[in-house]
Amino acid sequence: MSSAPKIAFNAFTTPSKGVLIAFCGEGLEFGSATRKVLGKTADLVRRAAKGERFSGKSGTSLELLLPEALKVDRLVVIGTGKGSESKPNDALKLGGGAMGKVPKSAEDVTVVAELPSGALDADQAADLAQGIALRAYVFDRYKTKRKDDEKTPEKRSVTIAVEGPGAARKAYARREAVTGGVLMARDLVNEPANVLYPEEFARRTRALSKAGIDVEVLDERDMKKLGMGALLGVGQGSSRESRLVVMRWNGGKKGEAPVCFVGKGVCFDTGGISIKPAGSMEDMKGDMAGAACVTGLMQALAARKAKVNAVGLIGLVENMPDGKAQRPGDIVTSLSGQTIEIINTDAEGRLVLADVIWYAADRFKPKFIVDLATLTGAIIVALGQEYAGMFANNDELSERLTKAGEETGEKVWRMPLAPEYDKMIDSKFADMKNTGGSRWGGAITAAQFIKRFVDDKTPWAHLDIAGTGFDSRQNDVNRSWGSGWGVRLLDRLVAEYYER
Residue 476 contact among ligand BES, Zn ion, Mn ion, none, beta carbon within 5 to 8 Å by kind = none
67 vs 265 by CB, closer to ligand BES: 265
Residues 253-312 that bind ligand BES (CB under 6 A): 269, 283, 287
Among 2, 299, 435, 480, binds ligand BES (CB under 6 A): 435
Are the CB atoms for 8 and 158 separated by under 8 Å?
yes
Sheet of 339-341: strand order equals 331-333, 339-341, 432-433
Residue (269 or 464) nearer to Zn ion, CB: 269
Of the pair 178, 466, the CB lying nearest ligand BES is at: 466
Whose Cβ is closer to Mn ion: residue 191's or residue 269's?
269
Backbone phi, psi, residue 264, to 5°: -75, 125
Catalytic residue among 276, 307, 403, 414: 276
- x/- contact string, 22-61, with ligand BES (CB under 6 A)? ----------------------------------------
Consecutive H or E run containing 447: helix 442-451
Count other C-beta atoms under 10 Å from residue 195's C-beta.
12
Near ligand BES by CB under 6 A: residue from 348, 355, 410, 476: 348
> What's the min distance (Å) between Cβ of 345 and Mn ion?
8
Closer to ligand BES by Cβ: residue 250 or 344: 344
CB atoms within 10 A of CB 417: 16
Among 349, 409, 441, 486, binds ligand BES (CB under 6 A): 349
What is the nearest approach in angstroms of Zn ion to the Cβ of residue 448?
A: 17
Which of 290, 442, 459, 484 forms a contact with ligand BES (CB under 6 A)? 442
276 part of the active site: yes
What are the φ and ψ backbone dihedral angles of 392, each rounded to 5 degrees?
A: -150, 150
Cβ of residue 411: shortest distance to Mn ion, in angstroms?
24
Q: What is the DSSP string of 229-254?
A: HHHHHHHTTSSSPPEEEEEEEE-S-T
How far apart are alpha carbons 78 and 148 in whole angstroms? 26
Q: Is 378 in the site for ligand BES (CB under 6 A)?
A: yes
Could you tell me which of 225, 205, 228 has the C-alpha nearest to residue 215?
205
Is 492 a known active-site residue? no
DSSP annotation string for 53-83: T----TT-EEEEES-TT--SSEEEEEE--S-
Q: Where are the alpha helices (DSSP H) in 191-310?
A: 198-205, 220-226, 229-235, 289-303
Residue 466, binding choice from Mn ion, ligand BES, Zn ion, none, Cβ under 5 to 8 Å by partner class:
ligand BES
Using the minimum distance from each CB to Zn ion, give the nearer residue, 180 or 349.
349
Q: Are strands 369-373 and 259-269 parallel, antiparallel or unpaired?
A: parallel
Say whether residue 328 binds ligand BES (CB under 6 A).
Answer: no
Report the distance separating Cα 233 and Cα 192, nearest Å.
Answer: 23
Choose, from 156, 350, 367, 411, the residue flagged as catalytic. Answer: 350
Asked if 235 touches ligand BES (CB under 6 A), the answer is: no
| Residues assigned a catalytic role | 276, 350
Which parts of this chain interact with ligand BES (CB under 6 A)? 269, 283, 287, 344, 346-349, 374-378, 435, 442, 466
